[in-house]
A and B are shown apart, each in its own frame.
Chain A
Amino acid sequence: MIPAIVVFLYLATVLYIGIFAFRKATEKAEDYFLASRSLGPFVFLFSLFGTNMTAFAILGSSGHAFQNGIVTYGLMASSSGLVIPLTIFFIGTRVWALGKKFGFMTPVQMFRDRWECGHIGTVIFVIQAVLLVPYIIIGIMGGGTTLYTISGGLVPYWFGGAIVALVVMGYVFFGGMRGTAWVNTFQTTLFLLFGAIAIIVIGAGMGGFRSATQSMLTSPLAPLLTRERISPLYFFSYTFIPLSAIAFPHILIFCLTAEKMNHFKKTVIFYPLCILAIWLPCVFLGVMANRVTDVPQIRAKQEARRVLATQGKNMTPEARDDLREQSSGDDVIMLLLQRYAPLWLAGLLGAGIMAAVMASDSQILALSTMFTEDVFAHYGGKRRFGEAVQVHTGRLFVVILTILAYAVALRAPETIFELAIQYAFSGYAALSPLLIAALFWKGSTKWGALAVTLWTAFAVVAVAVYQHAVPAPAPGPPIVSWSVGGVDVLTRTPGGTAVFGFMPVVPMVIISVLLMLVVSAITAKPNRAIIQKYFPSEPLAKAEVVSAKS
């Protein structure tokens, strides 16, 4: 129970931070949704990083490593450590500058202005919102599961989920962006501090990592220390996934909160190091959990994995899915803590894990910002009712969204939303050409943007329908659904779908780029005054100068 008490104290602290931020707030929309674009370099770095460190990143990374080995770090972490800071450097800084110059608060506002479109912006808003909702639901589910596990079953799932939903809703409701950024900073600091302690304590408890690694090398688990089970094409595909980060509305909106552009410098440089500090221990501990023989839950997971590998081919798809669920390693970090860490430390680390689980705060705020700016204000609400009503609407939206997410989290199976998140990453990666085209290509048009958005929606649904229609096979050779001239075009793998051996994200991004290029090339270009506004080096004809000034 002690770890649960520590976690409750932590939850009370973050709620207090949100309420404290409320005392600094004004009734201005820019203050509530963007903290008046005033975040300093330290808060900007840690809150931006913390926003990206979801439950999927922390619990999912160790769970994925438990099942797949060291490849997890190369797949999900080191590629992100290169691609995400690059996108922040090239795209984040430009979006920040446009936000400062023209007052944008959401990506859709920028797209509407850049491409002179109204309803196409609404289509982009809808697709972005639909892809973001599963994160909020899975955050509440993760909160309920974590509190249940940490308390040894004393706090039921429904109650744990309700507490996490209330706390997140509380500090987002009161603190807005300022409260969310401060809480994220606090959470990231906590996780960085206690993550290092965790690896030392668990390593000592296991009798040292040297002996654990050596014994793994001589066991059937040795492939987990290499990447021989993963194809190089699959590994390469994963470098496309981090393109999604900058296209996520909550990340792009965070880029608008920095007080000065110089604050991006530390974020860009330290981002790969923060990834190293958090992901490397999580991945390594996930792999090493396979050597823990005296925790019954871990042994049960390994047994489920063994049965799936040896007898999976003769089972029904439902039975295979059950075994996959049983062998899932998302809670191995918590099991290791319970086994090896003293109670007080397990509590603090549990709080750190809660921090990651609760990263849905910025997604809730982002959806609220998008709704009030892209729908409420765009369709005349702000003009008719004023800015104070707009902020109240944003707060009301936070409450309604959280209650709905909690209701869904109680009823729906978690696996559905885990899958949805997988699709969402690919979907946002396929939307990233919108940003690149808007910021770097004068010739891009609203019709190109619409084509990219509709293609993304179609591709995400198509992959979901395909994976539903063709159940995942047992570990081993994939199911070939379509081959041409001996080349496998579309295959169903145990982990998902492959197109020419690549993950779907690769063709999705490539086709998005091609659609933007081709459709923009054959449709009418935006007004030259708009081009000049976004590309100041572009010369204007005299008549256009007069038009732009007026």
Chain B
Amino acid sequence: MNRILLIIAVVVLYFLHQDFWFWRTARPLIFGFIPIGLFYQGVYSIAAALLMWLLVKYAWPAHLEQEVEQSHAREDNNT
């Protein structure tokens, strides 16, 4: 996946945290008892987990682990 899209997704999710549209209202009550503002922020946490999954799947810095392995291999060769 295009990394620019992932960066945009991170920035958009960061600003979606500021949900001023539910600022002054408790209704609707989700499941009859959860105020909409709290429900939104709960769903936001799930969206954050989904975004993390996308980052792990498409932008994982695998080169760091390779560098560690190469560095250890060089040390083994030197000894």
Complex partner residue of A97 from B42, B45, B52, B64, CB under 8 angstroms: B64
Do A78 and B17 touch across chains, with their CB atoms under 8 A apart?
yes
Query: Which of B13, B44, B46, B67 has most A Cβ within 10 Å?
Result: B44
Q: Tell me the chain B residues, 9-61 only, with Cβ under 8 Å from chain A.
A: 10, 13-14, 17-20, 22-27, 29, 32-35, 37-38, 41-42, 44-46, 48-49, 51-53, 55-56, 60-61
Chain A contacts for B46, CB-based, 8 A: 272-273, 276
> Does A271 contact B52, Cβ atoms closer than 8 Å?
yes
Tell me the interface secondary structure of chain A in the complex: helix
B23 touches A232 (CB 8 A): yes
Indicate the size class of the contact surface on chain B.
35 or more
Q: Give the contacting residue for A74; candidates B26, B37, B67, B71; CB below 8 A.
A: B37
Q: Please tell me if the beta carbons of A78 and B35 are within 8 angstroms of each other in the complex.
A: no
Once the chains are docked, how many angstroms separate the CA of A489 from the CA of B8?
A: 32
A289 vs B20: C-alpha distance when bound (angstroms)? 26
Question: In the bound complex, what is the Cα–Cα distance between A78 and B45 (angstroms)?
Answer: 6
Q: Which of A215-243 contact B (CB under 8 A)?
A: 217, 222, 225-228, 232, 235-236, 239
Is A79 part of the contact surface with B, judged by Cβ < 8 Å?
yes
Q: Does B68 contact A (CB under 8 A)?
A: yes
Q: Residue A78 contacts which of B26, B41, B55, B60 (CB distance < 8 angstroms)?
A: B41
Contact B64 A93 (CB under 8 A): yes
CA distance A261 to B25 in the complex (A): 44
Q: Is B65 an interface residue (CB 8 A)?
A: yes
Could you tell me the distance between the alpha carbons of A400 and B52 in the complex, rounded to whole angstroms? Answer: 41
Q: Looking at the assembled complex, report how far the CB atom of B76 sits from the nearest CB atom of chain A, in whole angstroms.
A: 14
- A210, B55: Cβ atoms closer than 8 Å: no
**Residue A212 at the B interface, CB < 8 A?**
yes
Q: Which of A85, A232, A284 contacts B48 (CB 8 A)?
A: A85
Closest approach, in angstroms, between the C-beta of B42 and any C-beta of chain A? 6
Residue of A with least CB distance to B60: A265
Contact A97 B33 (CB under 8 A): no
Report how far A208 CA is from B42 CA in the complex, Å. 20
State whether B20 touches A232 (Cβ < 8 A): yes
Q: Report yes or no: A270 in contact with B67, Cβ–Cβ below 8 A.
A: no
Structural contact, B45 and A270, CB atoms closer than 8 A: no
Instruction: Across the interface, name the chain B residue whose C-beta is closest to A276.
Output: B45
Whether B48 contacts A226 by the Cβ 8 Å rule is no
A353 CB–B CB distance under 8 Å: no
In the bound complex, how far is the Cα of B13 from the Cα of A511, in angstroms? 25
Which residue, of A235, A261, A269, A271, has the highest number of chain B Cβ atoms within 10 A? A269
Rounded to whole angstroms, the CA-CA distance of A217 and B32 in the bound complex is 12
Point out the residues of chain B lying under 8 angstroms from A275, CB to CB: 45
Does A442 sit at the interface, judged by CB under 8 A?
no
By size class, the interface of chain A is 35 or more
Most A CB contacts (10 A, CB to CB) among B32, B35, B46, B72 go to B35
Q: Mark A78-96, 1 if CB is under 8 A from B, else 0.
A: 1101100110010001101
Instruction: Output the least CB separation between A336 and chain B (Å).
Output: 16
Q: Do B68 and A283 touch (CB < 8 A)? A: no
List, in ascending order, chain A residues with CB within 8 A of B24's CB.
226-228
The answer on a CB contact under 8 Å between A94 and B64 is: yes
A85 pairs with B23, CB closer than 8 A: no
Q: Give the docked Cα–Cα distance between A235 and B42 (Å).
A: 16
Residues in A with CB closer than 8 Å to B19 are 74
Please encode chain A, from 202 to 220, with 1 for each CB lying within 8 Å of some chain B CB and 0 for all others. Answer: 0000001110111001000
Q: Render A89-113 as a binary contact track against B, CB cut-off 8 A, 1 for contact.
A: 1000110110011000000000000
In the bound complex, do residue B35 and residue A85 qualify as a contact, i.e. CB atoms below 8 Å apart? no
Are A268 and B48 closer than 8 Å at their CB atoms?
no
- Pair B20/A101 contact, Cβ less than 8 Å: no
Contact B35 A268 (CB under 8 A): no
Q: Give the distance to chain A from B17, nearest Cβ to Cβ, in Å.
A: 6
Nearest chain A residue, comparing its CB with the CB of B19: A74
A284-B52 in contact given A73-B42, A74-B41, A222-B26 (Cβ < 8 Å)? no
Give me the 3 closest cross-chain CB pairs, A-B, nearest first.
Answer: A225-B26, A97-B64, A272-B48
Q: Can you give 29 A-B contacts (C-beta < 8 A)?
A: A70-B35, A74-B19, A74-B41, A77-B41, A78-B44, A78-B48, A82-B17, A97-B65, A100-B68, A101-B68, A101-B71, A213-B35, A217-B26, A217-B27, A225-B35, A226-B25, A226-B26, A226-B37, A228-B24, A239-B17, A260-B65, A261-B68, A268-B52, A268-B55, A268-B56, A270-B49, A273-B45, A280-B38, A284-B34
